[in-house]
Amino acid sequence: MSLITSEALILDVLDLHDRDRIVTFLTREHGKKKGVAKGARTKHSRFAGQLQPLAKVEITWFEQEGRDLGRLSSVEMVRPAHRLQADLEGLLLGSYLADHLLEMAQDNEPSDLFFRLLDATLEALLADVDRDLAARYFEVWMLRLAGVFPPPHECPACGRPLTGPVVLPPAGETLLCADCGGEAPGGLAVRPETLELLRRIGRLSLPKAAEVPTAPAALRQLEEVAARIRRNFLQRELRSYGVIQATRAGL
């Protein structure tokens, strides 16, 4: 049995039995981990308010070889996320960000880039960066880090630079120039401002990318582009995506 301490971002907290909780968290060195917080549901638990989804914490846990679940020993708050979770839109966005990592981060494998992406996105959101842009930035970078977001620079079919109109084929696996992808039925014609936003996201940090005003139409189309690529990669949609759309529609 080993005792490990690491900085972590909490992704999910689930009740277990009458007294305990299962905590899913992301670390740089150990990837996605799960641990039981004994007594976390009780009134005077030492974990109390520390186990908040998306909080950045310093976490110590016991790990036994061959066991999926560790046992949390202590959790110290580094950066709470409750400012983001003070309104419904913030809560929905937080759940959406966490869902990406719950689905795409690997258990027990170093996840420094995923950790840095979520950490930087949360940091920017807590500093009141535009939430819509933050969501698009996060989606695109998650897919890039997973190795599935096509580079927006040259057509993979003909090798020419993507300077003119660009097409995302229906299956959403790559970005093609209009000559190579123009005939694909159901393809998405990606507008120049969307492509420009995509390149800006690839080049700049989120706070820097937010310094330039972004057209809502470009944000909406980039959301669609990312959703198609993600569905192609996962072969289904994230559960949170549909729920968030339905929740907004009901208001």
Residues that bind other proteins (CB under 8 A): 12-13, 15-17, 43-44, 48-50, 52-53, 55, 77, 80, 82, 85, 87-88, 91-92, 94-96, 98-99, 102, 238-240, 242-244, 246-247, 250-251
Closer residue to other proteins, CB minimum distance, 99 or 139? 99
Q: Select 48 or 234, whichever has its Cβ closest to other proteins.
A: 48
CB of 102 to other proteins, least distance (A): 6
Burial bucket for residue 154 (CB in 10 Å: 0-12, 13-18, 19+): middle
Using alpha carbons only, how large is the chain's radius of gyration in Å? 20
Closest distance of CB 233 from other proteins, Å: 17
Q: Among residues 70 and 94, whose Cβ is nearest to other proteins?
A: 94
By beta-carbon proximity to other proteins, the closer residue of 43 and 203 is 43
Coil, strand or helix at 128:
coil
C-beta separation of 170 from 178 below 8 A = no
Smallest distance, other proteins to C-beta of residue 238, A: 8
Minimum CB separation of residue 19 from other proteins in Å reads 11
CB-wise, 95 or 174, nearer to other proteins? 95
Q: Which of 177, 183, 148, 151 is nearest to 162 (CA)?
A: 177
Residue 184 CB partners (closer than 8 Å, separation 6+): 167, 169, 170, 176
10-30 b/e with 16+ CB inside 10 Å = b?
Answer: bbbbeebeeebbbbbbbbbeb
Strands 31-37, 69-79: parallel, antiparallel or unpaired by DSSP? parallel
Cα separation, 193 vs 222, in Å, equals 10
Helix, strand, or coil here: 237? Answer: coil
Closest to other proteins by CB, 66 vs 159, is: 66
The minimum distance between CB 94 and other proteins, in angstroms, equals: 7
